[in-house]
Structure 1
Amino acid sequence: LEKTKEEYTDGDQNHPSGSEKEDTISDGTSKCEEKADILSSFLDEKTHELLNNFACDIKEKWLSETELIGLPLEFSIGRILDKNQRASLHSAIRQKFPFLITVGKNSEIVVKPNLEYKELCHLVSEEEAFDFFKYLDAKKENSKFTFKPDTNKDHRKAVHHFVNKSLETFTGNPNVVITVRFREKAYKRGKRPLPECQEGNVIYTAFTLRKENLEMFEAIGFLAIKLGVIPSDFSYAGLKDKKAITYQAMVVRKVTPERMNVFNIRSVDDSLRLGQLKGNHFDIVIRNLKKQTNDSANLRERIMEAIENVKKKGFVNYYGPQRFGKGRKVHTDQIGLALLKNEMTKAIKLFLTPEDLDDPVNRAKKYFLQTEDAKGTLSLMPEFKVRERALLEALHRFGMTEEGCIQAWFSLPHSMRIFYVHAYTSKIWNEAVSYRLATYGARVVEGDLVCLDEDIDDENFPNSKVHLVTEEEGSANMYAIHQVVLPILGYNIQYPKNKVGQWYHDILSRDGLQTCRFKVPALKLNVPGCYRQILKHPRNLSYQLMEDDDIDVKMKGSHIDETALSLLISFDLDASCYATVCLKEIMKHDVLN
């Protein structure tokens, strides 16, 4: 089970892990008694008695195979102001009553029935379920729990499916015993592990992922299922277009190279991080150009002129439509705006809004918006929709409350949560550069921001590299348009001191973010902001006009029946630049249509 500190808001549910005992839970009796003593010492006699009565009522109902009709569905311990005391109580309650869960909100501890406990009781004995959830709550790194032998393959599969929601499972030898284990914690970057941790070094395997017409998260979902790991074990330096054939560097934790069936496998020392990507190379074929015009000589001249113009002048460095989910009813930037405004429930509903398509995924989403039945939606949602299923499983456990929605967002890795916020800030940047060029054109004017370092090739440069153009500098034409940068929204950026700066403030007011500090504490998201050049130039650009028959041989692509003129174009772009935007400038046409 992989839980990191970023997954908790104020420590209410981050109770300490179990004592340093053996790998199984069977020898934890004294620890359990100690947890029970904590209840007696922290709770007054009446509250302790009411908690015991609540637990007994839940247990009796479940043992009699009846629903919880007529019973209160939650019990409040009350507000506990001391954070450490709250953490101890969370752990003590769950250890004594594994069939209950605890939820913290505004220093209050609320106890609820653990519906997953009852679900497991339908698969294994009540005794095993009791021990398993005690083990689950202890969170002992690298510890193991083994279920009783089971010769029924279908039944074992059902247990695997239940447990795989959060832990690693593997079948013993002979293949009738299921063992589960916690995943080891990832050490904080920049800090060396303790000496006693160094023996069990984590394996990192790097490889190149080739995908076609598949979202990154879907591809990771497929790989995770095949390799028996969870999606957050995969790391990468950036996202690639869904529609294109793409090759991308990836790293997976705890999987040896021998188990991988992918390209360019090698052992590495650490995971990848967003921002490590230095750039991308593109080989693109644009076919059937003769259909655009019957004049081949004129066509060649126009193509050469367009390409040479982009080589010389560059292109506007817009974020491409794939960043926002082109053609979708709800774009990713809308979800990001809701998260920035701490509208967690709205963000969940936006995420699960269906498209106007009749397929299993959209039928499941439609059912959820109609019923808010997370468990029922899970049964409809295909296995490969990793993000959707992760959110729904959390909503099933914690409920469709504001707190439950926060926990649902925590079921996604940090890189996915921040992706939606970045989509919003990217959309605003696109609007800003359009306004800047419409207002001032290619002139560098007073109040513009320029980058003083000619060698900058990404967005992560400090404020010290950004200069505010003075009136004298603007009049003297000291800077060129390719030096102009615009801020990407965040808490650590400066705005232009001209009409563009005022435009930013107007947009923040329009979207209800006048007081936004670009931090979402509930989701552990911090958005410092950065700067992006408004123009970019492709590097190493080359092109060739060819007949389709010839280009099929060169690119080893599919056969085209009708021979027509095609353009083979190759170039490199810095990280976070979009080939579709560059091509649109060359063609003056949206190549995605």
Structure 2
Amino acid sequence: MSIAAAYTLKHQHTDFVVKEVSRPPVEQPGDYAYAVLEKRGVTTLEALRLIAEHLGIQESDVSAAGLKDEDGITRQTVSLRAETMRPFWIDLGPEKWLRLSAPIGQYDRPLEKGALLGNDFWLVIRNLSEEAAESIWNRGGSRGQFRQYVVNYFDRQRFGVPGSNYRTADVGAALLEGDTRRAAAVLHHDTAVAMSRGGLVPGEQARFVQDVNAGMDCRTAFRAISSRLRLFFVGSALSRDWNLQTAQSVAATGHPLRLYGDEHPLAGCLGLAGPQALASLPAGIALKEPVALPSEDGVGITMRETWRATVTATKVFLIDRGPDEHFPGRHALRVFFNLPSGSYATSAVHQMVTATTAASQDPGRAAAGTT
């Protein structure tokens, strides 16, 4: 069954506000300063590069516990050596900036991935029909809140930059096969296309294209890209594999509710129709994560195997609703919720709106993953 879920998310940066919930180390104070990074219109990877560039330090000396995308206003903790730390603000152009706070503490180790507990989200869901806004609002009852279960898919931010055609998973898949030339060719093509269209192009990719266009060998230019970004490409390919494996488990329940049209990068991923189907899924599916790249081509990438829950739950708090000033004749809904580390708010919202739309169109059909 396919349901058209009409809404708009991230219409403006203030519609998508994210605050990281992290756990500082309990060890003795040391040489690493922790500070708050606030940003708008910039990815975390690009922000870390800009911090290093501004402070005149190596990019590897700046650490974050998680990645936040550029379409919103985000707040997260970063770490760097205390002697290099100083607060600053950078204006990067229209609706793009980043700010690094004064130190909030000093510890004996840099931030690590395990320090991220989750994220708080304050979102405005726009361009809803009055019926859809009312259906979601009514789910909150007298307490203005409800529990939502969602399939824990990686969302499209993991596979490219919104508004562009970056095929990060294809770049990563080529690296996993040891084919650096193909990885470089895909990245060069997609980045060049985005640049020609005036799209958002992170600095490293732009320099890569400029180097290749200036005559540098494609593989040589690719190796100049930071290992952090190349590891992101590999992780993107492994995340796509996890999504497809999870989608197969969802389809096997016999109760699929299609979430995306054929043109969407996640067209192969399915939602669910009813909490009983959610309960029949495996609790989690193994996920490989890249840890280190060799100095040369991508052969011999060091991996570690982790476990990712197939279903996650959140409590959605309804803040307010009303006519949408940006979309005449439509309605907007403001919500708050928290998700554990690694879960995507965009996927949670899409499944919530799609499930509620399905239930309103077919009253005999329970909203997927709701209680």
* TM-score of the aligned structures, taking structure 2 as reference length: 0.64
1:424-458 Cα deviation digits (max 9, x unpaired): 11111111111111123479xxxxxxxxxxxxxxx
Relative distance call for 1:566 and 1:489 in structure 2 (3 A) is: same
Relative distance call for 1:390 and 1:207 in structure 2 (3 A) is: farther
> Is residue 2:318 matched to residue 1:543?
yes
Q: How far apart are residue 237 of structure 1 and its match?
A: 1.1
Distance 2:206 2:113 in 1: 22
Q: How far apart are residue 256 of structure 1 and its match?
A: 4.3
In the alignment, which residue of structure 2 is the partner of 1:251? 79
Contact 1:482 1:534 in 2 (8 A): yes
Q: How far apart are residue 226 of structure 1 and its match?
A: 2.3
Tell me how many residue pairs correspond in the alignment. 288
Relative distance call for 1:393 and 1:220 in structure 2 (3 A) is: farther
Indicate which of 249, 260, 283 corresponds to 1:436.
249
Contact 1:519 1:527 in 2 (8 A): no
In the alignment, which residue of structure 2 is the partner of 1:484? 283
> Is residue 2:309 matched to residue 1:533?
yes
Distance 2:50 2:289 in 1: 34
Q: Please, which runs of 5 or more residues in structure 1 have no aligned partner?
A: 1-200, 363-381, 444-476, 492-517, 550-558
In the alignment, which residue of structure 2 is the partner of 1:279? 118
In the alignment, which residue of structure 2 is the partner of 1:113? none
In the alignment, which residue of structure 1 is the partner of 2:184? 348
In the alignment, which residue of structure 2 is the partner of 1:20? none
1:163-219 Cα deviation digits (max 9, x unpaired): xxxxxxxxxxxxxxxxxxxxxxxxxxxxxxxxxxxxxx9943221111112222332
Distance 2:198 2:349 in 1: 35
Q: Please, which runs of 5 or more residues in structure 2 have no aligned partner?
A: 1-28, 90-99, 257-275, 356-371
1:501-522 Cα deviation digits (max 9, x unpaired): xxxxxxxxxxxxxxxxx98684
Partner SS state of residue 252, structure 2: helix
Distance 1:339 1:575 in 2: 26
In the alignment, which residue of structure 1 is the partner of 2:217? 400
In the alignment, which residue of structure 2 is the partner of 1:316? 151
> Is residue 2:182 matched to residue 1:416?
no
Distance 1:301 1:393 in 2: 53
Relative distance call for 1:316 and 1:306 in structure 2 (3 A) is: farther
Contact 1:490 1:529 in 2 (8 A): yes
Which amino acid letter does the alignment assign opposite residue 348 of structure 2? Answer: C
Indicate which of 175, 193, 196 corresponds to 1:339.
175
Q: How far apart are residue 490 of structure 1 and its match?
A: 7.1
1:320-354 Cα deviation digits (max 9, x unpaired): 11110144333110000000000011112222222
Which amino acid letter does the alignment assign opposite residue 139 of structure 2? Answer: E
Relative distance call for 1:268 and 1:219 in structure 2 (3 A) is: same
Which amino acid letter does the alignment assign opposite residue 385 of structure 1? Answer: G
Which amino acid letter does the alignment assign opposite residue 81 of structure 2? Answer: R
Distance 1:206 1:545 in 2: 35
Relative distance call for 1:440 and 1:482 in structure 2 (3 A) is: closer
Farther off after superposition, 330-339 or 413-422: 413-422
Which amino acid letter does the alignment assign opposite residue 221 of structure 1? Answer: R
1:271-314 Cα deviation digits (max 9, x unpaired): 2233431111111122454xx13x6xx84244333899x95460
1:30-74 Cα deviation digits (max 9, x unpaired): xxxxxxxxxxxxxxxxxxxxxxxxxxxxxxxxxxxxxxxxxxxxx
> Is residue 2:137 matched to residue 1:303?
yes
Distance 1:229 1:391 in 2: 24
| RMSD of aligned Cα (Å) | 4.1
Q: How far apart are residue 358 of structure 1 and its match?
A: 2.7
> Is residue 2:65 matched to residue 1:230?
no
Which amino acid letter does the alignment assign opposite residue 355 of structure 1? Answer: V
In the alignment, which residue of structure 1 is the partner of 2:166? 330
Q: How far apart are residue 422 of structure 1 and its match?
A: 1.0
Contact 2:117 2:340 in 1 (8 A): yes
Contact 2:231 2:293 in 1 (8 A): no
Partner SS state of residue 576, structure 1: coil
Q: How far apart are residue 257 of structure 1 and its match?
A: 4.3
Partner SS state of residue 328, structure 1: coil
Relative distance call for 1:231 and 1:572 in structure 2 (3 A) is: same
Q: Which has the higher strand share?
A: 2
Whose relative contact order is higher, 1 or 2, with alpha carbons under 8 Å and at least 6 apart? 2
Contact 2:39 2:74 in 1 (8 A): yes
Contact 1:212 1:246 in 2 (8 A): yes
Which amino acid letter does the alignment assign opposite residue 50 of structure 2? Answer: F
Partner SS state of residue 278, structure 1: strand
In the alignment, which residue of structure 1 is the partner of 2:204? 386
Farther off after superposition, 268-277 or 318-327: 268-277
Contact 1:547 1:563 in 2 (8 A): no
Larger-Rg structure: 1
Q: Which has the higher helix share?
A: 1
Partner SS state of residue 238, structure 1: coil
In the alignment, which residue of structure 2 is the partner of 1:358? 196
Which amino acid letter does the alignment assign opposite residue 342 of structure 1? Answer: G
